[in-house]
Structure 1
Amino acid sequence: MQRRAFLKKAGLGAVAGTAAVAAPAIAQSNPQINWKMTSTYGPSLPPLFSTAQMFCDLVKEVTDGNFNIRLYPAGELVPGYGVMDAVGNRTVECGQTASYYYYGKDPSFCFDTAVPFGLNVRQMNAWMYEGDGLKLMRELFAPRGIVNFPLGNTGTQMGGWYRKEIKTVGDLKGLKMRTAGFAGEVLSRLGVIPQQIPPGDIYPSLEKGALDAVEFVGPVDDEKLGFQKVAKYYYYPGWWEGSAQVSLYVNDKAYAELPKAYQRVIDVASRAAGSKMVQDYDAHNPEALRRLIAGGAVLKSFPREVMDASFEASNQVYKEFCDKDPGFKKIFDNYMAFRDNIVPWFRVAEGSFDNYLGAALARKK
């Protein structure tokens, strides 16, 4: 009963209710289907991997066990960064990943996850579902044989862990830093040497000195991976990820073969599981950050000089990409127009409220 109540709250009530009342009819009209799902992540990153598992569980439960998706962590069937190719060629029917990992295939994929000085999590959801985001992303993924669905968001990320303090832009020069997607291109203009390394290999690289800095997600995941043990300076904000959307990739032919009811289940289950990811990070990042600081992490904000230089470098890179790629420009123009329209509202309402409340609570202490 508790599970059924949850499904109703998650927006799956109509489908779940139908399954409960008319299970024999559904069994007749909806065939037994078994899929494989691969992920860029694994159990060592609970909010990310558990979101994929929750998605699989919901699909199975809502279809009364007729539609089963077995989840495999990174490396078990497919390398962590091989999700796009594996889904596109139907090695697996679906996968969980972050699209900015495929920056090398097309920088436009970053708009499906995060771009520097872009949208926060609520703004990203608004662009995807109420703006042109999902439409534009579906057009982008179609030639790859993929139907994409948002599958959660980490929220605004941290700026990463550094062995030394970052006081000026000059301190970034020559810094070997693990980062992903568009961030690496922008940071390279500031002298950083970007390195794209799968999650499981980041800590050993940092520990051995192959990296001077690393950005990953935020307190919950960073604490799990133990970065604070080898790099004590923890910077914010992660201006390259005002939010970071995680995606579900589904092979287009496998998707087209599904009954319409199963297609609808994928859509609704991905939204429900994705919502849980945001809640997970929001609920648990505060305590994780406090533990990190208590354990010796030194929390610092990027100097204004660094932020301004990063903003200028980002705009320069955007212009270069727009000038040479009409497809990139089409998405960029739409995304940034949405950002520029929505940010003033957030500044008036959300920003002013959060800033005042934060200051009031600080005074109270």
Structure 2
Amino acid sequence: MTTRRKFLTTASIGSAAALAAPSVVKAQAPIKWRMQTYSGAPLGAHVIQPQIESFNKAANGEMEIELFYADQLVPTGEMFRALQNGTIDAVQSDDATMASPVDIADFGGYFPFSSRYSLDLPVLFHRYGLNEIWQEAYDEVEGVEWLGAGAWDPLHVYTVDKPIRTMNDMAGLRVFGVPTAGRFMAQYGLIPVTVPFEDVEVALQTGELDGIAWSGFTEMYEIGWADVCKYALSNNITGAWCGSYFANSDSWAKVPPHLKELFKLSMDSSHYYRQHWYWGGEAQLRANGGKMEQTTIPPEEWEQVVNDAEKFWDQLASRSDRAARVVKIFRDYKALMETVGVPYRY
């Protein structure tokens, strides 16, 4: 029988031994990711670099993301496949540009006249059901996790030395741009041309490209393309680019819950930064940028383009039930905004 005195004595000895023995903490190697963005380095310095730097700091050595810019690891059009097979761990891009094999891919990037302002997109995703539709679509694809979407800048057309003042002026112009908007604008004679992101400026200078249909004013100035293009069409084809974050499924599964939450918080921080960076930049540069002459297609002529977009919407809606649900959401939202008027629509 163990007496109370003996128990206290042995317990004290055991406790002292435990206190005396040095604790051994085994350092765990940090999770390392390679992430590629659609953007080149000058633009990436705003649209993603601050986010990744903040995440790496907040992860406190548990995880480290190495960031790569457009085409540095794989060509932009092959990013989805590279993500799926684990060549890269994460991607920031729109669905169409990275060639996602989902039936809603064309709604990523610039879907013509789907938004008026950049704030429209997060509202559509969070309050009108696009989050659930995107999640549903990517749940059907093995190897890739869709993590969320956000808004970027509006879409304008810029030209080197051929101003656009009527729709006829677009005929034959070779432009670098995003896939969906490029297909839509092709009906007016624009010729979409694909070149590596880093080659765009040289292609504009050599005449391989006549212009760009890829961004708003903020990016034109930040990247340096405003130094090459003389003209900017003030009529915008849509109000905001729709971009998303993706991760390789196996890579995502290895990330502990608290770091997953941290990464999603960093995404929200990036979305917020882009909202004010683009919104303020577009206004400031259109008013005071000084590098490009702005031209405008008359409202009565541009109205036909807006009407043609409705037909383009119908074409995409006919592809699948899910695509039709997306188009219905766009139409319902547009109708509501026009009903309430100021400040949502003017």
TM-score by length of 2: 0.82
Residues 182-261 of structure 1 mapped to structure 2, 5 A cutoff: 182-239=180-237, 241-261=238-258
Structure 1 SS opposite 2:79: helix
- Residue 303 of structure 1 is matched in structure 2 by 298
- Residue 336 of structure 1 is matched in structure 2 by 331
Q: Distance in 1 between matches of 2:269 and 2:103?
A: 28
Identity, % of aligned pairs? 17
Q: Distance in 1 between matches of 2:310 and 2:283?
A: 32
2:134 aligned with 1:137, yes or no? yes
Structure 1 pair 167/63, CA: closer, same or farther in 2 (3 Å)?
closer
Name the stretch that deviates more: 183-192 or 304-313.
304-313
Q: Distance in 1 between matches of 2:30 and 2:165?
A: 59
Q: Distance in 2 between matches of 1:158 and 1:248?
A: 24
Q: Distance in 1 between matches of 2:99 and 2:32?
A: 31
- Residue 42 of structure 1 is matched in structure 2 by 40
Structure 1 SS opposite 2:96: helix
Structure 2 SS opposite 1:121: coil
Q: Distance in 2 between matches of 1:280 and 1:222?
A: 14
Instruction: Tell me the alpha carbon deviations over residues 305-343 of structure 1, each in whole angstroms, 9 at most, x when there is no partner.
Output: 442222232222222232343332232222332333234
Structure 1 pair 273/226, CA: closer, same or farther in 2 (3 Å)?
closer
Name the stretch that deviates more: 54-63 or 269-278.
54-63
Amino acid aligned to 1:61: K
- Residue 171 of structure 2 is matched in structure 1 by 173
1:348 pairs with one of 336, 339, 342: 342
Contact 2:156 2:235 in 1 (8 A): yes
2:119 aligned with 1:115, yes or no? no
Amino acid aligned to 1:134: N
Greater fraction helix: 1
Structure 2 SS opposite 1:216: strand
Structure 1 pair 140/107, CA: closer, same or farther in 2 (3 Å)?
closer
Q: Distance in 2 between matches of 1:163 and 1:34?
A: 46
Contact 1:147 1:252 in 2 (8 A): yes
2:89 pairs with one of 80, 84, 93: 93
Q: Distance in 1 between matches of 2:27 and 2:110?
A: 40
User: What number of residue pairs does the alignment pair up?
Assistant: 320
Structure 2 SS opposite 1:159: strand
RMSD across aligned positions (CA)? 2.7
Name the stretch that deviates more: 29-38 or 132-141.
29-38
Residues 14-163 of structure 1 mapped to structure 2, 5 A cutoff: 32-45=30-43, 48-102=44-98, 105=101, 108-119=104-115, 120-142=117-139, 143=141, 145-150=143-148, 152-161=150-159, 163=161
Structure 1 SS opposite 2:236: coil
CA positional deviation for 1:242: 0.9
Structure 2: state its 5+ residue gaps: 1-24
